[in-house]
């Protein structure tokens, strides 16, 4: 069974601080997505990484896919209250149409 | 552009009653469609997915079923709801492994349905 473990589960930080969220698995994924979800809404896609070692930046967010395509990280620089939400990673296994979701990281940024 | 709709947004149903949640996608053809359930503040559990009309794959044995009567319509059903069926249900679509000759991995979600079984 493929699993994606996210850490930390909860994170409460002050505005302006930096943070990193990790997404780890023992399985190889053909791609990995990161989503942010607000309470009562569907997840919104932030980024997709496909190539091992790939780094993508979205304003203050930096996403990295591990060289072996088994893990990924999300780094937020100078966090703002608007970054508050549930962050989810999801991996797509090769040759399948299924996505395996991580356990989620709930981030709260205090003003 | 593509859009995905889910309804109803919220639903309160008694135990033992039937269920029908509907999801439709606009602006794309032959999408892969998915039903997920989410526990409060946690990750998503894949319930069903479909790669074409009438083709349903079940991931978790449970009190629910899914159907895809049309290309862009996906329905989640139950004949008799249980208390444990309460949760936040999300429909999603993706372009599948190949879209217009290139690989496409993006998955897009609807707004969700909050189901409370009483």
B112 reaches A (C-beta below 8 A): yes
Q: If contacts are CB pairs under 8 Å, which of residues 67-106 in chain B contact chain A?
A: 88, 90, 92, 94, 96-97, 103, 105-106
B8 reaches A (C-beta below 8 A): no
Tokens representing residue A29 in the block: 């994924």
> Do A99 and B96 make contact, defined as CB atoms within 8 angstroms?
no
Query: Among all chains, which residue has been given the structure tokens 């909860």?
Result: A10
A24 reaches B (C-beta below 8 A): no
The span from the CA of A53 to the CA of A55, in Å, is 7
Average pLDDT, 10 consecutive residues per value, chain B (118 residues): 91 97 92 92 88 90 91 96 94 68 73 96
A72 reaches B (C-beta below 8 A): no
Select the residue of B41, B44, B105 nearest A101 (Cβ to Cβ).
B44
pLDDT at B104: 59
Asked if A72 contacts A63 with a C-beta cutoff of 8 angstroms, the reply is yes
Which chain A residues touch B56 with a CB distance below 8 Å?
none
Which chain A residues touch B106 with a CB distance below 8 Å?
33, 45, 48
Tokens representing residue A103 in the block: 């356990």
Q: What is the pLDDT along chain A (111 residues), one digit of tens a residue?
A: 678 999 999 999 999 999 999 999 998 888 899 999 998 999 999 999 988 999 999 999 999 999 999 999 999 999 999 999 999 999 987 777 788 899 999 999 999
Residue to test with chain B: of A97, A104, A106, A107, most B Cβ within 10 A: A97
| Sign of the torsion angle spanned by Cα atoms A106, B36, B24, B6 | negative
Tokens representing residue A45 in the block: 């896609």
Measured between CA atoms, the residue of chain A closest to residue B49 is A98
> Do B94 and A97 make contact, defined as CB atoms within 8 angstroms?
yes
A92 reaches B (C-beta below 8 A): yes
Backbone angles phi, psi at B84, to 5 degrees: -70, -10
User: Beta partners for B5?
Assistant: B24
């Amino acid at each position: 069974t493929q699993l994606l473990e996210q850490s930390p589960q909860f994170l409460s930080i002050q505005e302006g601080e930096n943070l990193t969220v990790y997404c780890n698995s023992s399985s190889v994924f053909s791609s990995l997505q990161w989503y942010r979800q607000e309470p009562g809404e569907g997840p919104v896609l932030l980024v997709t990484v496909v190539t091992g070692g790939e780094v993508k930046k979205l304003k203050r967010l930096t996403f990295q896919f591990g060289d072996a395509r088994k893990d990924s990280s999300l780094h937020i620089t100078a966090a703002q209250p608007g970054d508050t939400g549930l962050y989810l990673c999801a991996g797509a296994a090769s040759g399948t149409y299924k996505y395996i979701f991580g356990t989620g990281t709930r981030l709260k940024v205090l003003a | 552009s593509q859009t995905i709709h889910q309804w109803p947004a919220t639903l309160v149903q008694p135990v033992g009653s039937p269920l029908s949640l509907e999801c439709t996608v606009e602006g794309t053809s032959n999408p892969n469609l998915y039903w997920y359930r989410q526990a409060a503040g946690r990750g998503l559990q894949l319930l069903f997915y479909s790669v074409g009309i009438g083709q349903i794959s079940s991931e978790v044995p449970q009190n629910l079923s899914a159907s895809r009567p049309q290309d862009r319509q996906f329905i989640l059903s139950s004949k008799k709801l249980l208390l444990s069926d309460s949760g936040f249900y999300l429909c999603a679509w993706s372009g599948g492994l190949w879209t217009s000759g290139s690989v496409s991995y993006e998955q897009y979600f609807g707004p969700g349905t909050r189901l409370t079984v009483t």
